[in-house]
Amino acid sequence: MLKWLHSKKSWRWGEMAVKLDGKKLATKVKQDLEQKVSNLKQKGITPKLVVILVGSDEASQVYVRNKHRVAQQIGIETQDIRLPENTAEIELLQLISKLNADDTVHGILVQLPLPKQIDAEQITDAIAPAKDVDGFHPQNVGHLFMNDPRSLPCTPAGILRFFQEYHLPLAGKHAVIVGRSNIVGRPMAALLLNHDATVTITHSKTKNLRQLTRQADILIVAIGKADFITGADVKPGAVVIDVGMNRNAAGKLVGDVAQSSVDQVAGFLTPVPGGVGPMTIAMLMEQTVKFAERSVNCGRKNVSNS
């Protein structure tokens, strides 16, 4: 069991950062979900996730295939709906309305990005909050910021699980987030606040950004710029979460953090690949199973109230 070790009043263990193994943790989550899915199937419920992909974005297609593969491993039923690039917004909205009304569907995910003729905000708003596995619906975002979470964005949820699994304290720690996207930065800030961290969000307009990152006990980087954060930008012993997925000039997959440099300074570090990525998909599956479990409980309440 990993615990915090204090050396020179910093969070540090040995000469190299401890790797936060997303593959290993995701496997643990999936094993737990397999049992939950088995229990649901014994009650006549098969968790079902519908993924809608509009167009032929290559990265999106790879991501959808990965989701499908993991779902199969767990026993979750998946339906991939592929629509042409020229799909009209009204067609997509009608499809979502149909899926919202289908009791056999527990989770709905519309893969981003969407073609320019479709308003992503309109699509997000159309998904029923109780089936919003991405956690992007305004109602779910509001519940998160009110510390009453119903559905969590998958990447922040996966990051939080690292802290829980590795027993890394959040209360009272200074967390700095680089990036303010609605997918990672903003919901991550809410999750950290809900766990009593002191949070600073930085972005493209922030002055003295690297001065702020050097103050962070916890540094979460999600801006989509390869090797943006180096060891010189990190507080010794800090927990560094690298959310980035970029291709460098050589075509190699790299994060937003210069791993070899930060590895010499940080206390804990998520690798790329094998860090946040696997946990994002694992949390998507966990959320789908939770929604299926809620459908069973709602059914019981309806029976008891009849």
Q: Is 33 a member of any domain? A: no
Please check whether residues 169 and 234 belong to one and the same domain. yes
Please check whether residues 163 and 231 belong to one and the same domain. yes
Please check whether residues 92 and 170 belong to one and the same domain. no
Please check whether residues 218 and 268 belong to one and the same domain. yes
Q: What is the CATH number of the domain that holds 85?
A: 3.40.50.10860
User: Which residue range(s) make up the domain with 93?
Assistant: 45-129
Please check whether residues 106 and 200 belong to one and the same domain. no
Residue 134 appears among annotated catalytic residues: yes
Please check whether residues 259 and 159 belong to one and the same domain. yes
In terms of Cα–Cα distance, which of 214, 269, 275, 257 is closest to 17? 269
Residue 3 appears among annotated catalytic residues: no
Cβ neighbours of 129 (radius 10 Å): 18
Q: One of 48, 111, 235, 242 is an active-site residue; which one?
A: 111
Q: One of 134, 227, 242, 263 is an active-site residue; which one?
A: 134
Please check whether residues 106 and 213 belong to one and the same domain. no
What is the count of structural domains for the chain?
A: 2
Please check whether residues 107 and 209 belong to one and the same domain. no
Q: Are 154 and 291 in contact (CB under 8 A)?
A: no
Cα gap 87→17, rounded to integer Å: 47
What's the confidence (pLDDT) of residue 57?
A: 81
User: Which residues of the chain register pLDDT less than 70?
Assistant: 1-15, 298-306
Q: Is 191 a member of any domain? A: yes
Please check whether residues 81 and 191 belong to one and the same domain. no
Q: Is 294 a member of any domain? A: no
Cα gap 139→10, rounded to integer Å: 39
Residue 215 appears among annotated catalytic residues: no
Q: Is 7 a member of any domain? A: no
Q: Which residues are annotated as a binding site?
A: 179-181
Dump the DSSP string for 250-272: TS-EE-SB-HHHHTTT-SEE--S
Cα gap 58→76, rounded to integer Å: 24
What's the confidence (pLDDT) of residue 83?
A: 97
Please check whether residues 190 and 256 belong to one and the same domain. yes
Q: Is 220 a member of any domain? A: yes
First to last CA, the chain: 49
Please check whether residues 124 and 169 belong to one and the same domain. no
Q: Which residues are annotated as a binding site for NADP(+)?
A: 179-181
List b or e across 139-151, with b for residues whose CB sees 16 or more CB atoms inside 10 angstroms. Answer: ebbebbbeeebbb
Q: One of 67, 131, 173, 235 is an active-site residue; which one?
A: 67
Q: Is 38 a member of any domain? A: no
The first and second tokens of residue 156, run together, are 């922040």
Q: What is the CATH number of the domain that holds 270?
A: 3.40.50.720
